[in-house]
Structure 1
């Protein structure tokens, strides 16, 4: 439940440094090209907010909800988004480097072409997520839910795939390393023996 609502405002290009917001609702706000550094958003909601070409560094969005938001070409570097939920959002060209995205809700999200590098995604909900052509390199996906997720042509090298069931996810053309291949084969009940 929001304590404050910010509606229809133009926040284009604002620099949000070391600010803190708790239980604030942003509705129809233009946050294109904003930059946030060490900003903290707790239990906030964002509805139809444009985050296009925004840059976030060491900021936190804790238990926030994002509905119908546009993140075109947005970047998140060492950010914390634990427990946040995304619904009907656009993620074209999003780049995420390091940070903690554990317990995020991305069920059904269209993450095609996005890049996640060295991100903690423990117990993230990626059920039915469309991750074709995406990059998840060196990510911690332990305990993540990935039923019916589409990783066609995705680069998954170096990520923890222990929770990925190759029988329920689409993996055609996905790139994995030898260690991951052994994990996936093991999850099919097969045993790999040295030659």
Structure 2
């Protein structure tokens, strides 16, 4: 891994289509940086702040954004494959449409986020804060959502098949047309106090 870049502030920089490779940033601030169509593989951002950064149509593979803060960032059609976002926070970001495949998004704060139509496949999302988030029409399949915070989450027509929904209170979410598999349906029924028998 290259030497880390620490404590640097980047303002109004044009990194359009930049190949970030395996760069390593620690406690850096990025403000109004254009990362449209940028790519990274094995890059690492630790404790960084991104403000008004454009990640539009960017592609990131096996990169880490741990304990980072994203404020008013635009992630239109951004894709993250095998990336880690452990402990990061998204505040007033444009996250549509977002595609996440694999990786670890545990302890991430997405409270109140607009995630309509987003796709999370095979993602570890333990204790992720989804309170008040809008997941209408989203796909969150084969993911570990155990102990996630769901209060007031909109799951209308969301596809949750194959995901671990341990801790989901069906009465605390908007669930019209939510798609679940048979095993999940049984677990949710039991959570409501039903005695499920063959």
- TM-score in terms of structure 2 length: 0.96
- After TM superposition, list the pairs within 5 Å mapping 1:116-195 onto structure 2: 116-194=120-198
Structure 1 outlier segments of 4+, above 3 Å: none
> 2:68, 2:166 → 1: CA distance?
27
What is the CA-CA distance between 1:92 and the residue it aligns to?
1.0
5+ unaligned residues in a row in structure 1: which ranges?
Answer: none
Question: What are the Cα deviations for residues 135-188 of structure 1, in whole angstroms up to 9, with x where unaligned?
Answer: 000000001111110000000000011111110101110110000000110111
- After TM superposition, list the pairs within 5 Å mapping 1:3-42 onto structure 2: 3-42=7-46
Q: CA RMSD in A?
A: 0.8
What is the CA-CA distance between 1:18 and the residue it aligns to?
1.0
Counterpart of 1:71 (choices 58, 70, 75) is 75
How many residue pairs get aligned? The number is 193
- After TM superposition, list the pairs within 5 Å mapping 1:53-72 onto structure 2: 53-72=57-76
What is the CA-CA distance between 1:3 and the residue it aligns to?
2.2
> 2:190, 2:80 → 1: CA distance?
34
5+ unaligned residues in a row in structure 2: which ranges?
Answer: 1-5
What is the CA-CA distance between 1:93 and the residue it aligns to?
1.5
